[in-house]
Amino acid sequence: MFNPARLKLARQRLGLSLTKVAESSGISLRSLTNYENGASAPIDENLMRLAQVLAVPRSFFERETVETIPVGAVSFRKLSKTTALTRDAVLAAAALATEFFQIVASKFLLPQPDLPSLDKLPPEQAAELTRRRWGLGDRPISHMVHLLESKGVRVASINHVYRDIDAFCFFRDGTPFVFLNTSKSAERQRFDAAHELGHLVLHAELEMDPSLSKEREIEANRFAASFLMPQSAVLAQSMRGASIDRILAARTYWKVSAMALTHRLHELHLLSDWQYRTACVTLSDSGYRSSEPGGIVREPSQLLRKVMFGGDGKFSARDAARELNLESPDVAQFVHGLVPVAA
Amino acid sequence: MSNIFTISPAETPDGEERLNEFGLSTTLFHTALTPGVSRARGRTALALRTTPGNDIYHNTMEELALMLAPQGWQPVDVDGQPRLLHPDGMMSFTLASATNVAHPDTRKTPRTRGKGPATRNSLAAHVAHDLALFDLPDSPKKSVLVAAANSSSLWMLLHERTPTGLNLEFAQPSAMTPGGTVIAWADSIAIRPLELDGDLSVFDDPDGSDDFDVPVARL
């Protein structure tokens, strides 16, 4: 039976407006609107056209409604720069990804969520407490994605088409989800993961009031910097007035970008304003603003590898696509950059 | 004011040999100084102005005492000035910050901060020691160690902070201003600067990777 919510989901995940779908499918805008609000159901021919335009099998429209992810539940970076269509597209894809993880959870025993909620603390203290609670000491985090996954966070990928969106996160039925843009550098991806962890730890209990978005983003950045580069350890590394060579050695040690490390040193009063500006200019001239020369490799997912490639009854992208009434490339998008799958 | 002394340039066998004659070495000084300098270089701009200097002074005096104790060196407090006394009493030395340390222009000699009575007395004692014929028979009784320190020649491990470490010199003071600044030196051994910026060992791989296990089991 046709489910109007599934039509909307299929349209939104491709970032298409009703007008655009009407143009592509040859179905009137009025009819499309009626289909989506449930006033009428499409005839077979129109359903086929919609399936073709929206790149899903017809059976996709007959599945149960997936609860959409309200914008208010999501910590979006660069919210103001994101168009409504883009935002709806990534949220629709995220809703499908949660469905994917739901199916995975029905077949596999996965780590249970173990995240502290520290919304009363300043970000730096929250980061330190989270490290302590997880027994991380003040050593570099060897692998952010694995760490999150081991604490019950489901990590998925954002469609690389949406380069403007770095990352976002939300809770769904008590399970934390983090979506990363895996087209970014590994260092950037790690910082994004720590930033989203900051939102989950600091802002889980809050409604995402758009007017406070900027403050939340700043807090999540402060959390990420403190979590990845703990103050006590950085202060023990002779970084006062550090040279570029030393900054580069330290960024490799902490597995962060040179720019993030430089900013951290300035934040900790180890670089003066002048030293900070000079270091930023030098790094920028050497290409460290837009990329990370000599950087580390991107972090893959351990959870998805075990699920999709484990010897113990693996669950492939094709299996997942079949169960979700999607195509394999759709599933591949959820895990792009996290496990090697054919696009 | 007389300012005639020998400079043994840094890293010459002569300079190192002279240190070795005292039972000292460049490596020993560098090893002793490194923790304090590292701590000082980790101080933020919010630390007190004097804190980095104190880090170097306190850490290094303790490190030197620990490292030299097995060879019989003794820590001695002479009028509030901590020194390390050679096992044979041939010399004692202390740590002092100064400007113009190991300055490339040899006309510029090190200038310490203001020193107190211990240094002044030591310079006087040193002169008296040289002029042993005029020793007074009833000189004041002090503890054996302090007396030994006083009668031995006083040397200073001079250091001056640079953006990346320390300039170093091991020198024997010979004269000071009325305000207590030592400005003339009877002897000096230049020591290779301590460069910490190039020492990146603190960023060595922290014991390999400690990956996080993500337990996944088929239901």
Chain B residues whose beta carbon lies within 8 Å of the beta carbon of residue A303: 214, 216
| Strongest mean pLDDT among A162-166, A235-239, B117-121 | A235-239
Phi, psi of A299 (to 5 degrees): -85, 125
> According to DSSP H, which parts of A108-152 are helical?
123-133, 144-150
Closest chain A residue to the Cα of B45, Cα to Cα: A269
Range of the domain at B53: 8-194
Evaluate if residue B217 carries a pLDDT over 80: yes
CB atoms A253 and B206 under 8 Å: yes
The pTM is what? 0.81
Residue A172 forms contact with B (CB below 8 Å): no
B216 in a structural domain: no
Q: Which two tokens stand for residue A195?
A: 């930033």
CA distances from A8 to A79, A332, B107 (A): 22, 21, 84
Evaluate if residue B130 carries a pLDDT over 50: no
B200 in a structural domain: no
Mean pLDDT of the B145-166 span:
86
Residue A250 forms contact with B (CB below 8 Å): yes
In DSSP terms, A168 is beta-bridged to: A76, A179
Q: How far is A230 from chain B (nearest CA, A)?
A: 13
- Please check whether residue B62 is in contact with residue B75, taking contact to mean a CB–CB distance below 8 angstroms: no
Per-residue pLDDT reduced to its tens digit, A255-294: 999 999 999 999 999 999 999 999 999 999 999 988 899 9
B66 in a structural domain: yes
Closest chain B residue to the Cα of A241, Cα to Cα: B163
B42 in a structural domain: yes
Mean pLDDT of the B111-129 span:
72
Q: Which two tokens stand for residue A96?
A: 């499908």
B93 in a structural domain: yes
pLDDT at A74: 72
Mean pLDDT of the A190-201 span:
96
- Please check whether residue B185 is in contact with residue B153, taking contact to mean a CB–CB distance below 8 angstroms: no
B113 in a structural domain: yes
Which has more confidence, A190 or A164? A190
Per-residue pLDDT reduced to its tens digit, A141-151: 999 999 999 99
B207 in a structural domain: no
CB atoms B42 and A270 under 8 Å: yes
CB atoms A147 and B40 under 8 Å: no
Q: Which residues of B touch A (CB under 8 A)?
A: 37-46, 163-164, 196-198, 200, 202-203, 206, 209-219
Structural domain count, chain B: 1
Closest chain B residue to the Cα of A143, Cα to Cα: B211
- Please check whether residue B152 is in contact with residue B185, taking contact to mean a CB–CB distance below 8 angstroms: no
CB atoms inside a 10 Å sphere around CB A213: 16
Per-residue pLDDT reduced to its tens digit, A221-250: 999 999 999 999 999 898 999 999 999 999
List of residues 6+ apart from B188 with CB closer than 8 A: B5, B6, B7, B8, B169, B170, B171, B172
Per-residue pLDDT reduced to its tens digit, A68-107: 887 776 766 666 667 888 888 989 999 999 999 999 999 9
Q: What's the rounded Cα separation, in Å, for the pair A151 and A136?
A: 13
Evaluate if residue A331 carries a pLDDT over 80: yes
pLDDT at A77: 65
CB atoms A235 and B44 under 8 Å: yes
Burial of A290 (0-12, 13-18, 19+ CB in 10 A): exposed
Instruction: Quote the longest CA-to-CA distance of chain B.
Output: 98
Q: Comparing C-alpha atoms, which of B15, B64, B39 is closest to residue B166?
A: B39
Identify which of A239, A242, A303 has the shortest CB distance to residue B216: A303
Burial of A300 (0-12, 13-18, 19+ CB in 10 A): middle
Burial of A39 (0-12, 13-18, 19+ CB in 10 A): exposed
The interface predicted TM-score (ipTM) is 0.87
Mean pLDDT of the A99-126 span:
94
B91 in a structural domain: yes
pLDDT at B1: 40
Test mutation, A240, A264, A297, chain B, max B CBs within 10 A: A240
Q: Comparing C-alpha atoms, which of B48, B41, B67 is closest to residue B195?
A: B41
Q: What's the rounded Cα separation, in Å, for the pair A238 and A202?
A: 31
Residue with tokens 């006062």: A240
pLDDT at A341: 74
Q: What's the rounded Cα separation, in Å, for the pair B116 and B57?
A: 16
Closest chain B residue to the Cα of A250, Cα to Cα: B203
Mean pLDDT of the B81-104 span:
93
B200, HSE (Cβ side, Cα atoms, 13 Å): 16
CB atoms B212 and A147 under 8 Å: yes
Which has more confidence, A212 or B155? B155
Q: Name the band, by pLDDT with cuts 50, 70 and 90, for residue B12.
A: low
pLDDT at B6: 44
Q: Comparing C-alpha atoms, which of A277, A195, A288 is closest to residue A248?
A: A288
Per-residue pLDDT reduced to its tens digit, A13-48: 999 999 999 999 999 999 999 999 989 999 999 999
Residue A206 forms contact with B (CB below 8 Å): no
First to last CA, chain B: 91
Q: What's the rounded Cα separation, in Å, for the pair A35 and A41?
A: 5
